[in-house]
Amino acid sequence: MTRTRLIAALGALAALATLAPRAKARGQEGADSTVRDDRGGSGRQLFWVSPSVGVQLSDRASALDRAVPVAGLDVNYRLTPFLAIGFTGSASRPKTDAEFFNLVEMPVGDTSEFYRVSQRVTQFTYGVQAVATFTTARFAPYALGSLGGYTFSMDPQAVGGTRRYSGPAASVGGGLRIPVGGNAGVVLDARDVIFLSYERERLDATDPLLHTRNFDPVPAGKPAPKSAIHNLRFSLGVTFVPRGRGE
């Protein structure tokens, strides 16, 4: 998926939400009414917050652990009853797969020992997103798309200092909000978090001067490097408005 197509998809998502019919709920004449277009939050509330925990299924070509626990946070602002924009972020601690990196040769007397080195990195994702909500009688399914970036912070003990690696990212996905009371709810979320301009060799913790070419640097059967990495993220969270009803 190219960046141009991602931007076009986000534009289509916003247009779809804007053209959706407006739902209204009116009480008796002169009485206060509340539009319940966003299940798990009052329609009068402009902001809602959604912390979550889940698992990231890393792309097999990423050189990261296949299944990684992840914590996320979304903060959204309502533009219309059906369209919101906001911030999305996540953090996790995957371990790199040493099998994707070069062998390291360590001379020991009149012989040599060979190693492959992994490290535990800190992974951050962040971006701005658009969320289109399609409220039903009992649930609020939604679709979303985002553009932003990712950053890896390396293990200082493994790389001998402070080192970071960043690049652009995007995501597409959706989920379901289930109301629990007027201002809170439970959220089931699934999204494809895409790392663009990805260079997995930058996660290698070893010194290039110690690399050996006596053997295949990457074992046969490992996926070839890719510039676009697709990481599937599944999460469970809660959603709530940060202010009380009517405030």
pTM: 0.77
pLDDT of residue 239: 94
Rg of the chain on CA atoms, in Å: 23
Per-chain mean pLDDT for the chain: 81
Q: Which residue has the tokens 């779809």?
A: 16
pLDDT (tens digit per residue) in 155-209:
998 888 889 999 999 999 999 999 987 789 999 999 999 999 999 999 988 877 6
DSSP code per residue over the chain:
--HHHHHHHHHHHHHHHHHSPPP----STTS------STTS-TT--EEEEEEEEEEE--TTSSB-SEEEEEEEEEEEESSSSEEEEEEEEEE--BB-GGGS--EEEEETTEEEEE----B-EEEEEEEEEEEE---SS-EEEEEEEEEEEEEE--HHHHTS--EEEEEEEEEEEEEEEE-SSSEEEEEEEEEEEE-S--GGGG--S-GGGB--SS-SS-TTSPPP-SSEEEEEEEEEEEE-SS-TT-
Query: Is the per-residue pLDDT at 17 higher than 60?
Result: no
pLDDT (tens digit per residue) in 51-108:
999 999 999 999 999 999 999 999 999 999 899 999 999 999 999 998 888 777 676 7
Whole-number Å distance between alpha carbons of 59 and 100: 13
Under the banding of pLDDT at 50, 70 and 90, the label for residue 38 is very low
Whole-number Å distance between alpha carbons of 123 and 84: 26
At residue 99, φ and ψ (nearest 5 deg) are -65, -15
pLDDT of residue 210: 66
Which domains are assigned to the chain? 3-13+54-240 (2.40.160.20)
Q: Which residue has the tokens 């931007």?
A: 7
